[in-house]
Structure 1
Amino acid sequence: MLDKILQWDRETFVYLNSLGIEQYDLFWSTVTKFPPWIPFFVLIISLFFVKFTKREALFMILTLLVMVLFVGTLTDLTKNLVARLRPNNDEEINTLIRILRRPSGFSFFSGHASSSFSIITLVVLFLRQHFKWRYLFYIWPILFAMSRIYVGVHFPIDLIVGALAGIFSAWLFYKLYGILISPYLKLNHRE
C-alpha cells in the first residue's frame, strides 16, 4: 500500500512539475520565498491591532510566534526522522524534472506548507468574527506550497501532510490561547 502511495506521489509530482512554463519561472521562484510576503504579514498584524485591544493583539502575535517555533521544530524533527530525499536530490527522477532551486535538506514534510497553513489558520481563527473574507488569506499558503512542486523541491504528499500538520497545530494553539491566555486577558480587563 505504501509503495503505491509513494509511486502515485512521484508520478503526480513529475506530472505537475512538468507543467511548468519558463515564462513563469520568475513568478514561482519569487512566490516560494518569504520576503515578498512581508507586506501581507504587515497587513495581518495591522488587522490584529485594528480589531483587538493592543494587549490582545500582542498576545495573539506572541501566540503566533510561539506556534511558528513549534511548527518549525516539529517539521525539522520529522524531516530528520523520515529522511526522505527531495525530488531535486532523488537520482531516479531528478533528470526528468524542472529544478529551479536546489536545497540539500530532506523533503517530508514541507516546512513551507506547515508554517504557512499554521499561520493563516490561526489568523483565520482569531479574525473569524471580524471579517467575512478571511478565507481569502488561504491564497498565500496554497500558492506558497504549490510553488514547491514548481521549483522541484517537494512531493505532493510532503505538501498535504505539511498543510495538515500546520492546520492541526493552529487549532491546538488556538485552543491553548482560549484556555491559558484569553481568560487572563478578560480577568485583567475587568480590574
Structure 2
Amino acid sequence: MFASIIQFDIDLFLIINQDMANVVFDWLMPYLRNPYTWAPLYLFILIFSIRTYKKRGVIMMLFLVLSFGIADFLSASVIKPIVKRIRPCNELTLQGEMVSRVRCGSGYSFPSSHASNHFAMALFLIMVYRKRWSAILWFALLWAFAISFAQVYVGVHYPLDVTAGALFGSIIGYSMATLFLYIQPETTRQIAQP
C-alpha cells in the first residue's frame, strides 16, 4: 500500500510538473515561491498589526514569527533528516521525465518547509483576524496554497510533501493562535470590533 501511495504521488507530481506546463505558470510559479515576492505583504501585516493594535499588535507579530519559526525548525531540522526523502529534482529515476524550473538545492523533500511555514502563518492570521475580516480565510488559504503548488510545479517537492507540510503548519498556526488568544483575550474583542 505504501508503494502505491508513493507511486500515486510521483504520478501526480509529473502531471503538475509536466502536463500542466504553460508559459504563464513557467513565469509565475518561480515568483510565487520566492520569499522576496511576498516581502511587501509581510511588511504590510507587520505595520498594520502594530499600528492598529499597538502593544497587542507587537505581541501578535511575535506569535506569528514564532509560528513561522517553529514550523520551519521542526520541518527542516527535525522531520526532514528523519524521513530523508530525496527531492524530485535530485531523484535520478526522474531525470529526463521532469522539468526543473529553479535551482534544486541539496536538502530533503518531506515535508515542504515552504508549505509548513506559510500554512502556519495563514492559520494564525485566520484565527486572529477571522471575526473582523471573514475574507482572510480565503485569501490566506489561497496564498499558502499558491506557494505550495508552486513548489511542486517548479520541481522541488512532491504533492505529498506540500500536503504534509500544509497539515503540519496548520496545526502549529492554529495552536499558536489559540495560545495567543488565550493569553491575550482582550485582543479577540478588540480585533472583532469594526
Tell me, yes or no, whether TM beats 0.5: yes
Picking from 110, 113, 138, the partner of 1:111 is: 113
- More divergent stretch after superposition (109-118 vs 42-51): 42-51
Q: Following the alignment from structure 1 to structure 2, what is the Cα–Cα distance between the partners of residues 183 and 17?
A: 45
**Deviations 1:114-143 (Å, cap 9, x if unpaired)?**
001110110111101111211222221111
SS of residue in 2 equivalent to 1:170: helix
Residue of structure 1 equivalent to 2:127: 125
Q: Following the alignment from structure 2 to structure 1, what is the Cα–Cα distance between the partners of residues 24 and 136?
A: 31
TM-score w.r.t. the length of structure 2 is 0.88
CA RMSD after TM alignment: 1.8
Deviation at 1:183, TM superposition (A): 5.3
Residue of structure 1 equivalent to 2:192: none
Q: Following the alignment from structure 2 to structure 1, what is the Cα–Cα distance between the partners of residues 24 and 180?
A: 44
Provide closer, same or farther for how the CA distance between residues 124 and 185 of structure 1 changes in structure 2, counting only shifts above 3 A: closer
Deviation at 1:178, TM superposition (A): 2.9
Picking from 156, 159, 162, the partner of 2:159 is: 156
Residue of structure 1 equivalent to 2:145: 142
Residue of structure 2 equivalent to 1:27: 28
Which 5+ residue runs of structure 1 have no aligned equivalent?
187-191
Does 2:50 align with 1:49? yes
SS of residue in 1 equivalent to 2:157: coil
SS of residue in 2 equivalent to 1:129: coil
Q: Following the alignment from structure 1 to structure 2, what is the Cα–Cα distance between the partners of residues 56 and 25?
A: 41
- More divergent stretch after superposition (10-19 vs 128-137): 128-137
Residue of structure 2 equivalent to 1:189: none
Q: Following the alignment from structure 1 to structure 2, what is the Cα–Cα distance between the partners of residues 138 and 31?
A: 14
Q: Following the alignment from structure 1 to structure 2, what is the Cα–Cα distance between the partners of residues 54 and 138?
A: 26
Matches within 5 A, 1:53-72: 53-72=53-72
SS of residue in 2 equivalent to 1:92: helix
Residue of structure 2 equivalent to 1:83: 84
Does 2:141 align with 1:177? no
Q: Following the alignment from structure 1 to structure 2, what is the Cα–Cα distance between the partners of residues 184 and 23?
A: 45
Does 2:100 align with 1:96? no
Q: Match of 1:171, as an amino acid?
A: Y
Provide closer, same or farther for how the CA distance between residues 185 and 155 of structure 1 changes in structure 2, counting only shifts above 3 A: closer
Provide closer, same or farther for how the CA distance between residues 85 and 165 of structure 1 changes in structure 2, counting only shifts above 3 A: same
Q: Match of 1:6, as an amino acid?
A: I
State whether residues 17 and 155 of structure 2, in contact with CA within 8 Å, keep that contact through their aligned partners in structure 1: yes
Deviation at 1:92, TM superposition (A): 1.0
Q: Following the alignment from structure 2 to structure 1, what is the Cα–Cα distance between the partners of residues 47 and 134?
A: 17
